[in-house]
């Protein structure tokens, strides 16, 4: 064979080898996976949609090629809205599954022990959709979160202030407060009492409600003795239903202010619309922005219904921001490295990207060139402060026969102005 023939033969062989290596590399990239943990209350009716929304984001990212060319697996564990169950679930995800990021939890009373006893000691980033206690802000200010804590839900201060505003707008002069006896409930109960009093409204009682009691009749009777014009309820559906039933059976007023934790079909059905006609709910809200509208439309198409439950937009943004931060941090990044990459995802001067598969693909290209993006999500252009907190607009809502009816929308400027006035 000629020298030229040998060269051609060798070149062909090398080409085949390189092609085989390329196929193998592509297959390996497609076969690799990366895990994220999720601790969410899937055993309660309002918790399942929060988890389903997070999984939807994972599906979208996988459609875009995954994180750092690896398919994402969300390992989900149920917290049952129980601190001990939540901590055990988080430990399993961190110790056994080796997740660098934990999504959750719902309820500050569950998120706090996970943060202090699991994620911070392990160096795992924690991104919560639905924990609002100001205790997290204090912890971050003390340097005890190591920069690993973020939440896409505004602090309890927003809901407390809007709850007090509802009482003022309705002309109620005396209000009794029922609060869940955990970190979240104690926090919002204290804040709403202070805000009511700042408006000249008498707080006739502040009553702690514990889980799983056989009866809440004594608590209801105690609050009734002050003859309030209305009650404020910072409870979850189970104990909220039981407390309201006792309250109504004792002849208590049907004037109610509900925290967003009671924005639940289960609560509405178990109490009954006959007793909820003058129940006014509060919640944080997405801004009136194109990205928020796009989320509602996409959610409707995916789940055949509007995102009426609590925390759904927040769950979407928490999950997408976490996965974008993982992409920005690079393959095999630690929890601390992923947390440090969050500002590259929410940079006001960054390239605007949408909250969907196409947006993730665009962000990947920007990150590859060393740039940053401005994530435009279901709750708008998310901005975290130094403590991992966000602010948000708010809504006042009521139960309707077919779902949730929005009564009033308060912009971020409206919320900030009202909260500032309360401090004067």
pLDDT digit string (tens) for 334-346?
999 999 999 999 9
| Domain that residue 263 falls in | 156-287+393-422
What span, in angstroms and rounded, lies between the C-alpha atoms of 315 and 321?
A: 10
More confident residue, 18 or 306: 306
State the pLDDT at residue 20.
42
Q: Are residues 209 and 252 in the same domain?
A: yes
State whether 126 and 165 are in the same domain: no
Regarding whether 228 and 135 lie in a shared domain, the answer is no
Do 146 and 74 share a structural domain?
A: yes
The average pLDDT across 53-71 equals 98
Strand blocks (E) in 241-386: 256-258, 279-284, 351-354, 373-377, 380-381
> Which pLDDT belongs to residue 403?
86
φ, ψ of residue 71 to 5 degrees: the values are: -65, 140
Q: Are residues 85 and 170 in the same domain?
A: no
CA distance 347 to 353: 11
In 152-193, where do the E strands start and end?
A: 174-180
Is 28 a member of any domain? no
User: What predicted TM-score, i.e. pTM, was given to this entire model?
Assistant: 0.78
Distance between CA atoms of 364 and 376, rounded to whole angstroms? 15
Task: Let me know whether 86 and 209 are in one domain.
Answer: no
């759904």: which residue's tokens? 312
Identify the pLDDT of residue 351. Answer: 98
- Is 303 domain-assigned? no
Q: Are residues 320 and 267 in the same domain?
A: no
Q: Report the sign of the C-alpha dihedral through residues 108, 110, 116, 119, in that order.
A: negative
Q: Are residues 50 and 143 in the same domain?
A: yes
Backbone angles phi, psi at 321, to 5 degrees: -65, -40
Q: Is residue 302 part of a domain?
A: no
CATH number of the domain that 45 lies in?
Answer: 3.40.50.2300
Residues in the chain: 424
Do β-strands 394-400 and 279-284 pair in parallel, antiparallel, or remain unpaired?
antiparallel
202 & 328 share domain: no
- Supply the mean pLDDT for the chain: 92
- Same domain, yes or no: 195 and 146: no
In a domain? residue 322: yes
Residue whose pair of structure tokens reads 């279901």 in the numeric block:
378
pLDDT for residue 14: 43
The average pLDDT across 233-248 equals 96
Residue 380 in domain: no
Listed in order, strand segments (DSSP E) in 18-144 are 33-40, 71-78, 101-104, 125-128
- Whether 291 and 380 have beta carbons less than 8 Å apart is answered as yes
Residue 74 pLDDT grade (very low, low, confident, very high; cuts 50, 70, 90): very high
Same domain, 211 and 277: yes
Claim to verify: residue 123 and residue 170 sit in the same structural domain: no
Could you tell me if residue 276 is inside a domain?
yes
CB 303 within 8 A of CB 274: no
Where would I find the beta strands (DSSP E) of 271-379?
279-284, 351-354, 373-377
Domain count, the chain: 2
Provide mean pLDDT across the span 192-201.
98
Q: How many Å apart are CA 28 and CA 68, to the nearest integer?
A: 12
Q: What does the alpha-carbon distance between residue 418 and residue 412 come to, in Å, rounded to a whole number?
A: 10
Check pLDDT > 90 for residue 39: yes
pLDDT of residue 12: 44
pLDDT confidence of residue 30: 53
């Amino acid at each position: 064979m000629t020298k030229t023939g040998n060269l051609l033969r060798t070149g062909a062989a090398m080409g085949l080898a390189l092609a085989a290596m390329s196929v193998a590399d592509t297959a390996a990239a497609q076969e690799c996976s990366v895990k994220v943990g999720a601790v969410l209350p899937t055993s309660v009716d309002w918790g399942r949609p929060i988890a389903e929304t997070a999984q939807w984001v994972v599906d979208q990212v996988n459609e875009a090629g995954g994180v750092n060319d690896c398919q994402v697996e969300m390992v989900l564990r149920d917290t049952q809205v129980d601190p001990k169950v939540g901590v055990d679930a988080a430990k399993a995800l961190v110790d056994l599954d080796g997740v660098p990021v934990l999504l959750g939890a719902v309820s500050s009373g569950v998120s706090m022990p996970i943060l202090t006893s699991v994620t911070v000691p392990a160096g795992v980033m924690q991104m919560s959709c639905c924990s609002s206690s100001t205790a997290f802000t204090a912890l971050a200010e003390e340097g005890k979160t190591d920069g690993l804590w973020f939440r896409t839900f505004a602090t309890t201060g927003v809901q407390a202030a809007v709850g007090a505003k509802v009482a003022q707008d309705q002309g109620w002069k005396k209000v009794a407060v029922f609060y869940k006896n955990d970190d979240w409930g104690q926090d919002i109960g204290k804040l709403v009492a202070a805000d009511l009093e700042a408006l000249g409204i008498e707080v006739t009682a502040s009553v702690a409600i514990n889980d799983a009691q056989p009866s809440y009749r004594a608590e209801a009777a105690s609050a009734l003795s002050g003859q309030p014009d209305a009650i404020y309820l910072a409870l979850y559906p189970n104990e909220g239903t039981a407390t309201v039933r006792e309250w109504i059976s004792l002849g208590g007023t049907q004037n109610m202010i509900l925290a967003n934790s009671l924005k639940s079909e289960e609560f509405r059905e178990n109490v009954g619309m006959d007793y909820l006609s003058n129940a006014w709910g509060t919640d944080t809200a997405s801004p009136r922005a194109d990205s928020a509208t796009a989320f509602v439309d996409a959610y409707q198409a995916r789940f055949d219904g509007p995102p009426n439950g609590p925390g759904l937009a927040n769950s979407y943004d928490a999950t997408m921001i976490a996965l974008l931060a993982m992409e920005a941090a690079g393959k095999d990044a630690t929890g601390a490295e992923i947390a440090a990459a969050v500002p590259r995802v929410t940079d006001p001067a960054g390239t605007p990207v949408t909250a969907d598969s196409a947006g993730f693909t665009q962000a990947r290209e920007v990150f590859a060139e060393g740039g940053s993006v401005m994530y435009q999500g279901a709750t708008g252009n998310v901005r975290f402060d130094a403590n991992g907190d966000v602010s948000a607009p708010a809504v006042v809502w009521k139960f309707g026969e077919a779902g949730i009816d929005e009564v009033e929308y308060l912009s971020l400027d409206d919320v900030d102005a009202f909260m500032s006035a309360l401090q004067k």
